[in-house]
Amino acid sequence: MAGHSKWATTKHKKAANDAKRSKLWAKLIKDIEVAARTGGGDPAANPTLDDMIKKAKKASVPGDNIERARKRGSGEEAGGANYENITYEGYGPAGVAILIECLTDNRNRAATEVRTAMTKNGGNLGESGSVAYMFTRTGVVQIKKGELSEDDVLMAVLEAGAEEVVDLGEEFEIVCAPTDIQAVKAALEGEGIEVEQADQEFRASVEADLGVEDAQKVLKLIDALEDSDDVQNVYTNMNLSDEVIEALDA
């Protein structure tokens, strides 16, 4: 899990170029629209929407874009699309398990783009359930480290259902069940600790350790999948050592 977290942090820094950033913004805008449609347009009464807005702000999405997406989702403004969630499963290079979450208004387009990206980059789509059993839906809450120690954070969130506190360098990541995200956030805020980001993601229970060459192939596949506007998230069970991450950064 530590390797995953470090790589996620590194990859986020790599995503700073304009093309990557505009893709990320489009995905975050879609998340806001769907959250507003599902739970209402008031962030104070819709924790998921509140989390998505914070995530978008952290990624520097302009406030006007965020507000328009919120209004489209809640029906205050016309033009919202009917998005549906679809999850694809399969294997990438070196037998790495891959879960692909799509949010699309065109099921056929999403399927075609995912299949093409997988086929061209050494991956194979599998049947439903072929790799999902290796992954667990997990709640993740991030805070800035500042003057806090790991023990400070653990004491604040232990009774709220936190399972683990991970040191990411400049931030702490609190891992919990998805149903405990709001309790963990409330516990942190009760101690005066500001929450940077809160979200759900899939974490693998069985990891595959990869060398540099295989890691590069898997990352190329992930980039190809993420190039599709319909793909929201790509999860794998690859684990990268510090040495492999350094080699990839170099």
Could you report the per-residue pLDDT of 189-240, keeping only the tens digit for each?
999 999 988 989 999 988 899 999 999 999 999 999 999 999 999 999 998 8
**What pLDDT band is residue 17 in, cutting at 50, 70 and 90?**
low
Quote the mean pLDDT of the chain.
89
10 Å CB burial of residue 190 (0-12, 13-18, 19+) is exposed
Range list for CATH 3.30.70.980 in the chain: 84-133+205-249, 136-204
pLDDT of 1 > 90? The answer is no
Q: Return the pLDDT at 121.
A: 97
pLDDT of 173 > 50? The answer is yes
84-133+205-249 belongs to which CATH class?
alpha beta
pLDDT tens digits along 18-39: 677 888 899 999 999 999 999 9
Give the helix ranges, DSSP H, for 59-146. 63-74, 107-120
CA–CA dist 202, 107 (Å, integer): 22
**Domain 136-204 in CATH: superfamily?**
YebC, transcriptional regulation domain (3.30.70.980)
Q: Return the pLDDT at 7.
A: 47
- The H or E element that residue 123 is part of is none
Section 4-17 average pLDDT: 49
CA–CA dist 112, 131 (Å, integer): 20
User: Taking the model in full, what pTM does it have?
Assistant: 0.86
> Percentage of the chain surpassing pLDDT 70?
93
**C-alpha separations of 11 from 19, 63, 74, 180, 243 in Å:** 14, 24, 32, 27, 15
pLDDT of 79 > 90? The answer is no
Q: What is the CATH number of domain 2-74?
A: 1.10.10.200
Of 79-83, 121-125, 136-140, the least confident: 79-83
**What pLDDT band is residue 13 in, cutting at 50, 70 and 90?**
very low
176, 153 contact by CB (below 8 A):
no
Section 139-165 average pLDDT: 92
pLDDT of 93 > 70? The answer is yes
Q: Return the pLDDT at 12.
A: 44
Determine the length of the chain.
Answer: 250
pLDDT of 62 > 90? The answer is yes
